[in-house]
Chain A
């Protein structure tokens, strides 16, 4: 092994392995799960702001009737990219940022199972994000909506490059998501500290585990759909071409078999975050731990049986509609259980209203509204009046903004001290919460009305005689408030990261293992791998007075004290090179198949080199 890896170094003398890289090169070659988590978080938040600007442009166009700030075509590109960006480039990777930073810390591990694969996931996600957004500058962004129904995506109705960017971008993102999901599944199964049994696993880790399984099962479905669409467009095949006997509805089935589990992929991590924040700030354990875990698993399982409720108006017939109406109603039960268990968690607690807690409670409130309108949609008959209207837009935003994003904001405030070692500005945080809370309700609640008053989604203009003006103006005002709140958040985070008050190891008197180590955690996380004896182990240790005298464990990797002698895998640039190869290959698939071959070759060579690169360089190792 060692000699082969040396051979490769001789072959690529310019690309010497960076053993102790600093600065930007250090970030580019890092395989530390915490730094990768930060990369994920910062990139995804920039994407969140991008999607937010798109939303503000949409809302500006709709502020009143007959406006033409943007053209119909640009409007269609804006809402397509807004949806695609928020789902695939903001919420999913923001959740991934938490998976990366927290999972090893919560289960008492030094890193994830495959650190270099982890780096590869990030760089590939970045490649996908760049591909999707490059479309703005290369002839126009995708313009068919975030679920891109066939046959509007065919080259007959859509000769431009937009759908190609969408197809290829999502495929690249799918690779990143799959790699990350396998990584976290293996990590959670195999890397738990001694005593960290499944029934002691923190809720966030549990929800990550379920999410990762959903991702592994869901992404192949959309991969199939995207490949079929790509073949239709690029090679004249006929999966969705009616004239040649294809079926457009097949796309809808494939998309939503992926798309509905995807909704739970977006919301379960936020539910996990909330399940950590509520107990900490109530000083009470989570009410009904096993019920909440089980409800999460049932939601994940049943999420596969409800996809056709997105298709109630496609004409599948009354029997199919009835079946999917009933399964959709049933999925409300485990969701309701979670809400009641969260309320029971804070019941009789000692509640401290720090910003993360405000967001967690805001999550319960707004997710409840989104849940209720969700059940309303399961009534397939009356849903025929709501499907594809602003009522649906209200629902999806109460679930994904009031739900997923509120949970993610709770998490960003909650773990900010752990991630940066500094406290955020509490006053600014509270102000930001209230602005965000009022803003999003002002933006999204009126959409229930405009929807029930017959306003279809995805229209770039409407007449003054339709009676929708007031509600749209309110929505736009709310969207601007959310925009201001997002800016305040950025100011708070940047300012606090640079010169915020130094954070202690455990500023919230929290419960899980990540709070038992310094803030920010050292590169090796745990000086000694903890032996877990309880659910909420850190809380129990603190309360039993054993916090400082935790039993010494056998350190993995040998040695003890100050992290000396703990062997961590060394940085590597190969994962990034594979992603660069994928990026070039993907762009080649859009423009020129020869370029695609070059990109593929780069990726293959880099995978080869990566495979023979040892975890630690032998000469470094002999130094210890």
Chain B
């Protein structure tokens, strides 16, 4: 009997250890979108409030569960117990106490909450510049009006500088979210929303659409690239370079397709080419300089680009290009293998 109790005690310790490890790992910063790895003032203020309420919540949790477990063990009916327990109908003092106590806890957590709401909402006066972010089904467009740059699915900002972000949508509601830098805010068609970002360290941060926006909602991702100021300035200069007609023959062939028969120009802009001014799809100026393809869904490699051009629908079901672009919608005008090679060579030349 004693051994059994010892054995079960060992099991309980084991269980508690496992639970503790699990709980600690909950605060893991491993995930590229972990909100515990707050690396900017906005996400830090949100994480601080999370710890406050988590502390208060843990206190309530322990209290309620201690009472509940104690009661269920202590007041278990003995099999021979036929007598009724004391018939207690209530106790006003106690009930008033457990009305007031939670109210006090809530008032305490209300103060940082309201402060946090205003802190997150208002960009500081010394914000470096403004980015106009627009949601599309299913990709993000980033415009830098002051720098004269338009890019897609990759937001570049300088480190330690507040950047104001204005949010728009051209179709359905999306939500702009970079968990390590700031909580999400929706991109609502017909509404302009405002938020701000600041990153403490250079690096690449994951972002993802957080409001269900249709078939490929899961494939609507982006990256925020945080540079040192010097690197950022260099990036701006590079992005402002206009594209020129490629000299490589294969790439030139791709250029001719893009600007001609394949009609890519109807939806995509490439700065430097008069004809390519479409605004339905992502701006492809400097597409080869980007880290990812298809709104953060795969690395920007030659093989992936090729696979994407062969069958975009298999990577991003329901996307506008595979539905409406003539080379995908009309089988008789589909791209041949050599044509795809040419387009890949052309797009890879846009760095």
A residues lining the B interface (CB < 8 Å): 71-73, 76, 143-145, 149, 151-152, 157, 242, 246-249, 282-285, 287-291, 313-315, 317-318, 321-322, 325-326, 329-330, 332-333, 336-337, 339-341, 343-344, 346-353, 361, 364-365, 368-369, 372-373, 375-376, 378-389, 448-449, 452-462, 465-468, 543
Contact = CB atoms under 8 A, between A and B. Distances in A.
Contact of B113 (A325, A336, A373): A325
Given A348-B88, A350-B84, A313 B175 contact: yes
A33 to B, nearest CB: 31
Given A71-B317, A288-B90, A381-B46, A350 B212 contact: no
A149 B65 CA distance: 38
Interface residues of B, number: 93
Interface in B227-280: none
B1 interface: no
B200 to A, nearest CB: 17
Contacts, number: 285
Given A289-B89, A341-B95, A454-B179, A459 B217 contact: yes
24 contacts: A144-B212, A145-B212, A149-B172, A152-B172, A282-B75, A322-B113, A322-B117, A326-B114, A329-B106, A340-B98, A341-B95, A351-B75, A352-B77, A369-B61, A372-B61, A378-B113, A381-B113, A381-B183, A382-B116, A384-B183, A384-B184, A452-B36, A455-B33, A456-B209
B67 interface: yes
B191 A315 contact: yes
A313 B183 contact: yes
A325 B213 contact: no
Given A460-B218, A466-B31, A343 B67 contact: yes
A80 B117 CA distance: 31
Given A76-B215, A287-B88, A461-B218, 9 more contacts: A151-B173, A325-B117, A353-B72, A381-B119, A382-B46, A382-B113, A389-B210, A456-B209, A466-B33
Contacts of A314: 186, 188
B68 interface: yes
Interface of B: 25-26, 28, 30-36, 43, 45-47, 49-50, 53-54, 56-57, 60-61, 64-65, 67-68, 71-72, 75-77, 81, 83-91, 94-95, 98-99, 102-103, 106, 109-110, 113-114, 116-122, 137, 167, 171-173, 175, 177, 179, 182-186, 188-191, 193-194, 206, 208-219, 317-318
Nearest to B57: A372
Given A333-B102, A452-B35, A453-B35, A382 B85 contact: no
A143 B98 CA distance: 44
B103 A382 contact: no
A465 B36 CA distance: 17
Contact of B31 (A378, A453, A460): A453
Q: DSSP class of B's interface residues: helix, strand, loop or mixed?
A: mixed
Given A242-B190, A248-B188, A364-B68, A325 B110 contact: yes
Contacts of A330: 106
A380 B117 contact: yes
Contact of A467 (B31, B57, B167, B213): B31
B121 A348 contact: no
Contacts of A385: 35, 43, 46-47, 50, 179, 183-184
A259 B234 CA distance: 50
Nearest to A467: B31
A370 B121 CA distance: 28
Contacts of A375: 53, 56-57, 106
Given A313-B186, A454-B208, A381 B179 contact: no
